[in-house]
Structure 1
């Protein structure tokens, strides 16, 4: 039973690990993209606000 369990874990681990790594990668990528999107509007918002005398 232990041997078969190890084989099952070895069979499942790579796909699980790659899935977790892919999720972490996509999460990090989307997070960095969100930070870029957040960072970009601020100067334009400041300029926009300055035009309106804020």
Structure 2
């Protein structure tokens, strides 16, 4: 339980300070379609070492 509480404290410290223009650009980037990355797809398709 203490580890989870510590994790939450760390995660809560992530703050984004944007003006209106920066915020709109940030939201646009989050909403943009994901580009296909063959190298990432290959990596994610591999079986984890602990499952070998």
TM over 0.5: no
> Which structure carries more helix by proportion?
1
TM-score, normalised on structure 2?
A: 0.33
TM-score, normalised on structure 1?
A: 0.32
Larger Rg: 1
